[in-house]
Chain A
């Protein structure tokens, strides 16, 4: 017996996705952008899980595990890029400051 109905879950997922998208678009701090991306990914994962529960299918949970791994990798790569930028003498975390590809 699910605690939430399917509809409620979808609304929640859409809200989470919108919050994440807004974060990516609005925040300039790269760490916060990464966090917002994770929120978006989790929103998508939530839809999978809810759909799995709705149709009694385990595939949704498999997809959730995949997305979790993807999110971990994405965060790791993103943080590594930020660290490399720091190592190259770019002290700021501002994403817009890196638009000229000057190395």
Chain B
């Protein structure tokens, strides 16, 4: 039963995509939206059915489907094969259900766009490629999906191709992820040469059996990590994601927040046994994740574009997932992936609705006071923001972030045999990141929805767009209660679902650990309110007299701290990048000059040879013949 349903699961969105692409221009906006939603909706229904089938089976059960052999040569074989286990189950549920909600929203959002058929064709193709990515049991088959989502991302970022800035953003995203794709392919080939097959099970078995040398495992893990970093827009590849916001908002919600950018997290979680064998790479993953979450948080704090704030926040949140992966708590990474898909999709969709009704104004300082004009959207955005900040108890983000933080607290990185490093500094930085998260997202909330009225809102949000928003609201508020820390009612449905055999241990978790995770977002919220929320705050214009001066000064100092910190960080990064740029430019200059002069001389020589005199040519032929004869005779 399930072996039949799993290929069908991929086929549904693919068929919808083909229908839409083939009938481009002949179907109305309504028809296109219906076909796309039907395709993704059927996939969602099928994924729920297969999840019921899988969960009713034995705890370690998995479904293997081999569709057809792809290539078989001596020493290597690859198949087009799908596998459904607990990890891919979580992913297909997230992809299809969040994808369905976003498609329904997009049917309303894009209905007046002339390119709607192209848009939905790419979106459904993306869902199909993403399903291939998460279901593939052969890593080469996974690579097909990996490239497919990259292609759809490129097409959708450059969707409004009239503006050169959009196509430039699309190219930037494509190039930067391409670097990672090459690295990933290197990693896969490295594994293939030693194991002879890229079936996930075979590879992991070979690695854990010690068939692959330790250095080989480390190299492969490093290359795969580089691929995952580029796909997930982590430091040093973080620059493409903010520019990717040039695409339509549903694209940003589906591809650049909920699913594609988390493909790297999924890949590493899928290969967690491989990474467990490469301790230095794990430590590198954790450090890069921490760096990313701080960089993303600082950058989001100083943005003025609503969508770019959310983009930097995505980078920062995916950084949390990488931190969790680096610490070996991949269950927590997947849990955060799931809740992040809910609340970030909600934030993007709400932001898209706000931007649409504010006549495409994205600058948060020109928006403002929208609380009265659009109360429903305000509730949705605040719900998403609370989940992102991880306000304690009532939001999904709190539970997933708590799981990551407690995992980081307990980890020890065994870098060499008898030298291990504790993860406590990383924990402190992750906590700082949680503070920054609450600060920047509530800065955004207070500026956009409270405060002085800015632009005048027009129209109203259509029913098609409000229903997905409502569903995502519920998911991002209550989707997290399936996994709770031990100090609260001990409930571990999610980790039990993922890995029933070896549940994550929550033992000896101090109470103050959970308390810290609960208080820090509240502190961030409070600071954001003081800085941007209060009617008398410094951000709403300076005022004098009335005993306000002292407080004003104090507030001004408070307000300068994040500014100064981010200015200093920005200055450092700028200096570093200028240095890197000069070195790179100098190197390239040198290469180009050498290349030029060599080409010049070669051209001169060839010019001498080709003088057009027949007798010279005859002489060359005769001379060459003599040399050839001499070589043939004398050797």
* A binding-site residues for B, Cβ under 8 Å: 21, 24-26, 28, 33, 95-96, 98-101
Q: Point out the residues of chain A lying under 8 angstroms from B613, CB to CB.
A: 95-96, 99
* Segment 577-611 of B: residues with Cβ below 8 Å from A: 611
Q: How large is the interface on B (under 10, 10 to 19, 20 to 34, 35 or more residues)?
A: under 10
| CB nearest to B618 among chain A residues | A24
Tell me the complex Cα distance, A24–B612, Å.
15
Q: Point out the residues of chain A lying under 8 angstroms from B622, CB to CB.
A: 21, 25
Judge whether B619 and A25 touch: CB under 8 Å.
yes
Contact of A25 among B611, B612, B618 (CB under 8 A): B618
Chain B interface mostly helix, strand, loop or mixed? helix
Judge whether A95 and B615 touch: CB under 8 Å.
yes
Judge whether B618 and A99 touch: CB under 8 Å.
no
Check: B71 CB closer than 8 A to any chain A CB.
no
B627 to chain A, nearest CB (A): 15
Q: Point out the residues of chain B lying under 8 angstroms from A95, CB to CB.
A: 613-615
- Cross-chain pair count, CB within 8 angstroms: 26
Tell me the complex Cα distance, A53–B612, Å.
41
17 A-B pairs with C-beta separation under 8 A: A21-B618, A21-B622, A24-B615, A25-B615, A25-B618, A26-B615, A33-B614, A95-B613, A95-B614, A95-B615, A96-B613, A96-B614, A98-B612, A98-B614, A99-B611, A99-B614, A100-B612
Tell me the complex Cα distance, A95–B618, Å.
12
Chain A interface mostly helix, strand, loop or mixed? helix
Besides the contacts A21-B618, A25-B615, A100-B612, what 18 more A-B pairs have beta carbons closer than 8 Å?
A: A21-B622, A24-B615, A24-B618, A25-B618, A25-B622, A26-B615, A28-B615, A33-B614, A95-B614, A95-B615, A96-B615, A98-B612, A98-B614, A99-B611, A99-B612, A99-B613, A99-B614, A101-B612
| CB nearest to A99 among chain B residues | B612
Residues 455-467 of B, flagged 1 when their CB comes within 8 A of A and 0 if not, give 0000000000000
Q: Which residue among A95, A99, A100 has the maximum number of chain B CB atoms within 10 Å of its CB?
A: A99
Enumerate the 9 nearest inter-chain pairs by beta-carbon distance, A residue then B residue, closest first. A99-B612, A99-B613, A96-B613, A24-B618, A95-B614, A25-B619, A25-B615, A21-B622, A25-B618
Residues 615-628 of B, flagged 1 when their CB comes within 8 A of A and 0 if not, give 10011001000000
Q: Point out the residues of chain A lying under 8 angstroms from B618, CB to CB.
A: 21, 24-25
Tell me the complex Cα distance, A41–B611, Å.
26
B612 to chain A, nearest CB (A): 3
A96 to chain B, nearest CB (A): 5
A32 to chain B, nearest CB (A): 11
Tell me the complex Cα distance, A33–B614, Å.
10
Q: Point out the residues of chain A lying under 8 angstroms from B619, CB to CB.
A: 25
Q: Point out the residues of chain A lying under 8 angstroms from B611, CB to CB.
A: 99
Tell me the complex Cα distance, A28–B614, Å.
10
Tell me the complex Cα distance, A100–B619, Å.
19
Q: Point out the residues of chain B lying under 8 angstroms from A21, CB to CB.
A: 618, 622
| CB nearest to B611 among chain A residues | A99
Q: Point out the residues of chain B lying under 8 angstroms from A26, CB to CB.
A: 615
Q: Point out the residues of chain B lying under 8 angstroms from A25, CB to CB.
A: 615, 618-619, 622
Tell me the complex Cα distance, A101–B614, Å.
12
A28 to chain B, nearest CB (A): 7
Q: Point out the residues of chain A lying under 8 angstroms from B612, CB to CB.
A: 98-101
B279 to chain A, nearest CB (A): 69
A102 to chain B, nearest CB (A): 10
Q: Point out the residues of chain B lying under 8 angstroms from A96, CB to CB.
A: 613-615
Tell me the complex Cα distance, A21–B615, Å.
10
Tell me the complex Cα distance, A71–B618, Å.
17
Q: Which residue among B611, B614, B622 has the maximum number of chain A CB atoms within 10 Å of its CB?
A: B614
Q: Point out the residues of chain A lying under 8 angstroms from B614, CB to CB.
A: 33, 95-96, 98-99
B530 to chain A, nearest CB (A): 83
B83 to chain A, nearest CB (A): 66
B630 to chain A, nearest CB (A): 15
Tell me the complex Cα distance, A25–B611, Å.
15
Tell me the complex Cα distance, A25–B620, Å.
10
Q: Which residue among B611, B618, B622 has the maximum number of chain A CB atoms within 10 Å of its CB?
A: B618
Tell me the complex Cα distance, A25–B614, Å.
9
A47 to chain B, nearest CB (A): 15
A18 to chain B, nearest CB (A): 10
Tell me the complex Cα distance, A35–B611, Å.
24
Tell me the complex Cα distance, A95–B614, Å.
7
| CB nearest to B622 among chain A residues | A21
